[in-house]
Amino acid sequence: MQSKDHWEKVYTTKKPDNVSWFQPHAELSTRLIRESCPQRDAAIIDVGGGASTLVDDLLDVGYAHVTVLDLSHAALTESRRRLGARGDSVRWMEADITRAEFEPHSFDLWHDRAVFHFLTTPEDRVAYVRQVLRAVKPGGYVVVATFGSDGPTQCSGLPVMRYAPDELHAEFGNAFTLLAHEEQLHHTPFGTDQQFIYCMCRKSAA
Ligand SMILES: C[S@@+](CC[C@H](N)C(=O)[O-])C[C@H]1O[C@@H](n2cnc3c(N)ncnc32)[C@H](O)[C@@H]1O
């Protein structure tokens, strides 16, 4: 099954709060975003945002330029439904992150929770990093969360990569400085725990 078909099926057959990655609030992501980009006019993209409540949290604290990108139309529709009129201020992009078209240097901050780790081929990871290099402003921030070295080997029935913070940083290369990393034990709605690592990097100013 193609990746888009897989994710459309997930979001049309499961309730948003009944998937392993569900969080009522994206607290750690919101904190890292607020710490790195406190200015509320910062342009922020949540890559593979799915039906995540991160966008709600960002609007709640006053961010005015939020983009949510996902492969799945159904996921974006669910977030728009949940937000109602508040969602009109958000830019919604239905696209594959390895091929999406971005204006150069259009974002102050790039956020990804649980998407990069689905890229199991070097070609897809190189394409993803190329997108970050194009879309993030010089000196901008990149917050990426993946399963940690002791995390699950699959998610949503798909194989995933697992990373230690230095391994994840190495995927992004010398144009990015690793500023901080944090581990999180995510409690799934099914009573299990998953190890995540969050890396915050800064893109070089040049
Ligand atoms: C495990 S979910 C995480 C969703 C969200 N980031 C969160 O933390 O709740 C992975 C998401 O990545 C999206 N996705 C997977 N591959 C993608 C790709 N190549 N381009 C864009 N989105 C993708 C899926 O549709 C899904 O919404």
> Does residue 19 belong to any structural domain of this protein?
no
What pTM value is reported for the model? Answer: 0.98
Please tell me the total count of domains within the chain.
Answer: 1
Could you tell me which residues come within 8 angstroms of residue 186 by beta carbon, excluding any fewer than 6 positions away? Answer: 21, 23, 193, 194, 195, 196
Residue 64 lies in a domain: yes
The answer to the question of residue 32 being in a domain is: yes
Could you tell me the residue range of the domain that residue 174 belongs to?
3-13+26-203
Quick check: is 21 in a domain?
no
Q: Within a domain: residue 18?
A: no
Mean predicted confidence (pLDDT) in 52-67: 98
CATH of residue 109: 3.40.50.150
174: pLDDT strictly greater than 80: yes
- Mean confidence (pLDDT) of the chain: 97
- Is 90 exceeded by the pLDDT of residue 2? no
Residue minimizing CA distance to atom 3 of ligand 1: 114
- Cα-to-centroid distance, 76 and ligand 1 (Å): 11
Q: Does residue 39 lie in a domain region?
A: yes
- What is the best residue among 53, 71, 117 to mutate for testing ligand 1's pocket, by most ligand atoms within 8 Å of CB? 71
* Mean per-residue pLDDT, 54-74: 98
Amino acid 85: pLDDT: 98
pLDDT higher than 80, residue 1: no
Q: For the residues 180-202, what does the mean pLDDT come to?
A: 98
104-146 per-position pLDDT tens digit: 999 999 999 999 999 999 999 999 999 999 999 999 999 999 9
**Strand pairing of 136-147 and 107-113?**
parallel
Pocket residues for ligand 1 (CB within 6 Å)?
Answer: 3, 7, 21, 48-50, 52, 70-72, 75, 96-98, 113-115, 118, 155
* 80 is a domain residue: yes
Buried b / exposed e along 29-63 (16+ C-beta atoms within 10 A): bbebbbebbeeeebbbbbbbbbbbbbbbbbbeeeb
Written as one string, the DSSP assignment of 107-137 is EEEEEEESSGGG--SHHHHHHHHHHHHHHEE
Q: Is residue 159 assigned to a domain?
A: yes
Q: Which two tokens stand for residue 204?
A: 């070089």
Q: How far apart are the first and last CA of the chain?
A: 41
Per-residue pLDDT of 9-22, as tens digits, reads: 999 999 999 999 99
